[in-house]
Chain A
Amino acid sequence: MQPYEFDGDYVRRLAEGDPTVEDHFGRYFGELLNIKLRARVRTRAMLEDVRQETFVRVLETLRQKQGLEHPERLGAFVHSVCKNVMFEKFRDAARQGPLDADAQDRPDGRINAEDWLISQERKLLVESVLQELSVRDRELLRMVFFEEVSKAEACERLGMGGDHLRVVLHRALTRLRERLAKRKAQLGRPSNQQDSVKRRRLAVHYTVRYSDGT
């Protein structure tokens, strides 16, 4: 994703419905909202609700106020809106009472919420990073991420210090970022024709979605 400067121009174009900026806004903050929400909500549906409601409210606010007083704090604004929406959803859910029996059988919400992060290509990249780790470090990550053994227990079982897990993760993330950046450079930017088609599609998508909400 191309980095954008969150400034007055970006916020103005977003409020005016510039499809390129809307596309960037939706993808950039969509991912961050997913990351934030996946640890807090149980189901994919709830996550989608909170995410969409956040987008709608942010865009409404920007259009009504014709921008933000501090456009460089757009991220913090999105975050605060998301927090409010999330608490409202939690309150609503609490008022509706405990989950019914069917709800207990729903698949793990976190796994569902992670689907968007997983792709065959990313899996291969992550697998290559994991293969470069020592057997013990790989086992440590497997215990923590897959078996969901507590970090303290996993470190104790493997005779490692508590900080070691953070070090291993940091090392792995550094390598993954390098590979992602390299892959991105290899792919390059889409052609102008593809880009304009994509913009038109997104413009329609956002128009429909936001007009439903207002």
Chain B
Amino acid sequence: MEHELATRMRAVERYLLGELSDAERDQFEEHFFDCQACAEEVRAGAIFEANARAVFADPPRPVLQPGWWDWVRLRPAFAASAACLNLLLVGGMGYMGWAVRGLRTQVAELEAPQGYSSFALRGVTRGDEQVIEVPKESRFFSLSLDLLAGQSFRQYRGEILSESGARLFSVTLPRPRTPGEPLNLLIPASSVEPGRRYTLIVRGLEERSTGTPGSEIARHNFLIQRN
């Protein structure tokens, strides 16, 4: 038997399975006694057959149910994803904790008694600006302005505009309890930047005596500085 034919007809497997005719078996045996490649395959086959029989003859070992860790260990892609997710969760929770601690501190600081500087806005020549020097340690400062006669409304609205004219915030201002008292506006120091110019516009709401509702009753330009 030629090696080519032996390979083509899968002689090794057929020999081990006893599927060759007597003549074919003799021819193949003669061949693998001469052919070291086929001899090696037959030898491996005999080892496999004998040891497989011995393995099957062994009493079955108790099959251990794979635990969740085995399940994870056998799926590296899942394990990697789960590890990333865990990392994100831990990181997220850490960040949340840090942020919450910061917020608590800020709330506690806000709730604590504190002083603030108050600045009276005065009428200035058109185009001029008033310099507001806010102390560095102050968290708030207040702006107050006197109402002129005929500017009595139920409420007022104060708007702070930036240099570009963008409205930074708008807040309703209660009318003074007694006539002659100024309007007061408390501003967080962190909402304005030193060296920048701002404009406060005050509008009267819900006409009581004179004036048009929503109409501008005062406009003040000011420059913020921190010292």
Question: Which chain B residues border A6 with CB–CB below 8 Å?
Answer: 34
B43 with A172: CB separation less than 8 A: no
Chain A residue with Cβ nearest B36: A3
A166 with B17: CB separation less than 8 A: yes
Residue A165 is within 8 A (CB to CB) of chain B in the complex: yes
User: In the assembly, what is the distance between CA of A178 and CA of B165, in Å?
Assistant: 80
Question: Which chain B residues border A79 with CB–CB below 8 Å?
Answer: 29-30, 33-34
B50 with A146: CB separation less than 8 A: no
User: In the assembly, what is the distance between CA of A166 and CA of B8, in Å?
Assistant: 13
User: In the assembly, what is the distance between CA of A79 and CA of B35, in Å?
Assistant: 12
Chain A residues touching B, majority SS: helix
Question: Which chain B residues border A59 with CB–CB below 8 Å?
Answer: none
- Report the tally of A-B residue pairs with Cβ distances under 8 A: 107
Chain B residues touching A, majority SS: helix
Query: B33 contacts which of A32, A118, A177 (Cβ < 8 Å)?
Result: A32
Which of the segments B51-59, B72-80, B173-181 contacts the partner chain?
A: B51-59
User: In the assembly, what is the distance between CA of A31 and CA of B39, in Å?
Assistant: 9
User: In the assembly, what is the distance between CA of A78 and CA of B44, in Å?
Assistant: 20
Q: Chain A interface residue count: which class?
A: 35 or more
A144 with B17: CB separation less than 8 A: yes
Which of the segments A98-106, A125-133, A186-194, A199-207 contacts the partner chain?
A: A125-133
A165 with B17: CB separation less than 8 A: yes
B34 with A126: CB separation less than 8 A: no
Q: Chain B interface residue count: which class?
A: 35 or more
* 19 CB < 8 A contacts A-B: A32-B42, A32-B43, A35-B42, A36-B29, A75-B35, A79-B30, A111-B53, A114-B50, A118-B51, A123-B51, A126-B54, A126-B55, A127-B51, A130-B52, A165-B17, A169-B48, A170-B10, A170-B12, A173-B45
Residue A21 is within 8 A (CB to CB) of chain B in the complex: no
Given contacts A39-B18, A76-B30, A151-B17, 15 further A-B contacts (CB under 8 A): A31-B43, A32-B32, A35-B43, A75-B34, A75-B39, A76-B34, A79-B33, A123-B54, A126-B54, A130-B52, A142-B56, A145-B49, A145-B52, A146-B57, A165-B17
Residue B40 is within 8 A (CB to CB) of chain A in the complex: yes
Question: Which chain B residues border A166 with CB–CB below 8 Å?
Answer: 10, 13-14, 17, 19
Chain A residue with Cβ nearest B51: A126
Question: Which chain B residues border A76 with CB–CB below 8 Å?
Answer: 30, 33-34
User: In the assembly, what is the distance between CA of A80 and CA of B10, in Å?
Assistant: 23
Question: Which chain B residues border A170 with CB–CB below 8 Å?
Answer: 10, 12-13
Residue B47 is within 8 A (CB to CB) of chain A in the complex: yes
Residue A56 is within 8 A (CB to CB) of chain B in the complex: no
Residue A209 is within 8 A (CB to CB) of chain B in the complex: no
Question: Which chain B residues border A28 with CB–CB below 8 Å?
Answer: 39
B53 with A176: CB separation less than 8 A: no
Query: B52 contacts which of A73, A126, A151 (Cβ < 8 Å)?
Result: A126
Q: Which 9 A-B pairs have the closest CB atoms?
A: A75-B33, A146-B56, A75-B34, A126-B51, A79-B33, A117-B50, A114-B50, A166-B13, A177-B44
Query: A180 contacts which of B39, B44, B49, B50 (Cβ < 8 Å)?
Result: B44
User: In the assembly, what is the distance between CA of A123 and CA of B57, in Å?
Assistant: 11
Chain A residue with Cβ nearest B29: A36
B55 with A127: CB separation less than 8 A: yes
B13 with A145: CB separation less than 8 A: no
User: In the assembly, what is the distance between CA of A171 and CA of B36, in Å?
Assistant: 20
A123 with B55: CB separation less than 8 A: yes
Question: Which chain B residues border A126 with CB–CB below 8 Å?
Answer: 47-48, 51-52, 54-55
